[in-house]
Amino acid sequence: MSAKPKWFQTTAIDYPNSRPHIGTAFEKLGADVQARYRRMEGYDVTFLMGNDENTLKVADKANELGLDVQAYCDDMARQFREVWAVLDISYDVFIQTSHERHKACCRKFIQKVYDNGYIYKGEYQGWYCAGCEEFKSEKDHAENAGQCTNHLRPLTRRSEPCYYFRQSAFQDRLLKFLQDTPGFLQPENRRNEMIGWLETKGLDDINISRLGEAWGFRLPFDEEFTSYVWFDALLTYITGIGYGDDEVTFLAQWPCDTHFIGKDITRFHTLLWPAMLWAAGLPAPTKVFSHGFVTVDGTKMGKSMGNVVQPLEIIANSSVDIYRYFFLRECAYSGDGDYSGQRFEEVCNSELANNLGNMLSRVITIPAKSYDSVLEGTAGVVPQSTVEGIDLKAFVATVRGHVEACRYNLALQAIVNDFLTPSNRYIDTNKPWSLVKTDKEAAKLVLLNMAEALRIAAILLKPFIPRSAEAIYKSVNYAKPWGDVTYADATTLQALPSDFRVTAELIDGKPKPLFPRIG
């Protein structure tokens, strides 16, 4: 029994057709901030991510490269995890859907749904291309004059046996659930879309089986069939925490506190997924956050556009934290955001280098040069605020509210505009560099106050730019271990138990720039 409250969150799982780009990374980043914040706040966090491998496209890609499918998947998973490691994505569990444990647990789930009477055998009818060996959508058929665009031959009407999931049985319950549970789907406008979808289109039963495919997992009650991708992908969220073979762990985690997903798959997560869970006798997730997309220079990113940008390309010329800061500060998580090299430079130079990084240099250099790095007599002295009229409790509460609602851009905006900028102003107003010549004791207090501002900023920034926040924090002998700080520590001005001392590494009496200007 843990005394800590649990916090279970996931991102969507990714198709390993190609390496992650800044769009997929955006999702992981947003989720990571939440996970880091929750850990700071004392939650027992489980953060799950993974790759969605049981799809024909993945098998096709592997075959195209002449690779064993499993080997291909494992290698891609390695590559994905490398990127996530570079970005400091602090996931706890990484699932690959092609692994046997996941498949075995899925089979238990699907058997349960079958036993509960929500799966029935039927016929699937559709337009079939013998060349592709797959069904095409009605839309494909209508738009291409009944021809397959790959093989330029007519599609034929074909039917085959299949298994349906009785999604329609949950129509009313879902509608009521969405209407009665405002916090379930965020942002709000997407909730309206889903309610609208239910009211106008309603739910059909869906074909959850595929016939004659080797890749994927077999239905437990009919081994001739494999499972439809979505029925297997969504299940990572429960198999990853023990569903099927470790009920104790599973029940301690579920329901999920937040699924972080892209806006394109909102329907699967807010209609199909709750229905699936209910069909198996499990509760729906607590919350689904449907984020926007990242565009590049104002246009949609995609292979066909040839403008796919990968995280490592950007980081090669900057740093992880600059990367993190840019997307978190510039792209509202609830909507679409844009990446451009020029904007990237602007934001990083002005807010990170000139504002935050420069502030650290200003605060460290004078004590280092004029006081031999120690401000004697400052032990036990309670600092004063550098921001006139600020109510720290209210300010931290505002930032906290933004973080919990995934308004990361607003949280960072508040920290920079309402805290860091005024603190920089405080230095100019109080001129410690000249005070040090006339009243060395008074100058100490000014510097002490500035150091306190840095402490508060470092704590608030910890979930966003963990490495840099730590570097700031460890530049001064703050008392509390970095690993133990919480947002509550930023709500009060705290005296140092021993005299202020510069602990940053100095080169020629100056700290190394935290964020070098770029460009």
Residue 313 binds RNA (CB under 7 A)? no
Residue 207 binds RNA (CB under 7 A)? no
Helix pair angle (408-415, 392-404), 10° resolution: 160
Residue 79 binds RNA (CB under 7 A)? no
Give 40 or 356: the residue with its C-beta nearer to RNA.
Answer: 356
Residue 21 binds RNA (CB under 7 A)? yes
Residue 35 binds RNA (CB under 7 A)? no
Give 236 or 253: the residue with its C-beta nearer to RNA.
Answer: 236
Residue 131 binds RNA (CB under 7 A)? no
Residue 440 binds RNA (CB under 7 A)? no
Give 475 or 491: the residue with its C-beta nearer to RNA.
Answer: 475
CB of 498 to RNA, least distance (A): 23
Task: Identify residue 304 by its one-letter amino acid code.
Answer: S
Q: Per CB under 7 A, which region of 15-23, 30-38, 114-122, 245-253 contacts RNA? A: 15-23
Q: Per CB under 7 A, which region of 98-106, 191-199, 275-283, 482-490 contacts RNA? A: 191-199
Residue 232 binds RNA (CB under 7 A)? no
**108 Cβ contact partners less than 8 Å away, ≥ 6 residues apart:** 220, 243, 244
DSSP-based three-state secondary structure for 4: coil
Residue 317 binds RNA (CB under 7 A)? no
Question: C-alpha dihedral over 109, 115, 118, 122, to 10 degrees?
Answer: 110
Task: Pick the closest to residue 144 from 127, 130, 159 (CA basis).
Answer: 127
Taking CB under 7 A as the rule, which mask of x and - marks residues 84-103 in contact with RNA? --------------------
Residue 18 binds RNA (CB under 7 A)? yes
Among 146, 220, 262, 341, binds RNA (CB under 7 A): 262
Residue 10 binds RNA (CB under 7 A)? no
Residue 332 binds RNA (CB under 7 A)? yes
Residue 124 binds RNA (CB under 7 A)? no
CB half-sphere exposure, 346, CA atoms < 13 A: 7
Among 79, 147, 365, 398, binds RNA (CB under 7 A): 365
Residue 53 binds RNA (CB under 7 A)? no
Tokens of 63: 């075959």
Q: Where are the beta strands (DSSP E) in 263-357?
A: 288-291, 294-296, 299-300, 337-339
Neighbours of 467 (CB within 10 A): 14
Among 96, 424, 449, 491, binds RNA (CB under 7 A): 424
Residue 421 binds RNA (CB under 7 A)? yes
d(CA 324, CA 342): 16
Among 12, 241, 256, 277, binds RNA (CB under 7 A): 12
Token pair 């900057």 in the structure block, residue: 318
Give 312 or 488: the residue with its C-beta nearer to RNA.
Answer: 312
Residue 347 binds RNA (CB under 7 A)? yes
Residue 303 binds RNA (CB under 7 A)? yes
Question: C-alpha dihedral over 361, 367, 368, 374, to 10 degrees?
Answer: -130
Q: Which residues pair with 120 in a beta bridge?
A: 164
> Between the CA of residue 452 and those of 98, 172, 336, 436, 455, what are the distances in Å?
50, 55, 36, 19, 5
d(CA 439, CA 437): 6
Q: Are 271 and 285 in contact (CB under 8 A)?
A: no
Residue 168 binds RNA (CB under 7 A)? no
Q: Which residues pair with 5 in a beta bridge?
A: none
Token pair 């130079």 in the structure block, residue: 349
> Between the CA of residue 14 and those of 75, 143, 508, what are the distances in Å?
14, 29, 48
Q: Which residues pair with 135 in a beta bridge?
A: 128
Residue 377 binds RNA (CB under 7 A)? no
d(CA 55, CA 30): 26
User: By the criterion CB under 7 A, which residues form the site for RNA?
Assistant: 12, 14-15, 17-18, 21, 23-24, 26-27, 55-57, 137, 139, 189, 192-193, 196, 228-229, 262, 264-265, 293-295, 299-304, 330, 332, 335, 338, 343, 346-347, 350-351, 353-358, 360-362, 365-366, 413, 417, 421, 424-425, 427-428, 431-434, 510, 513-517
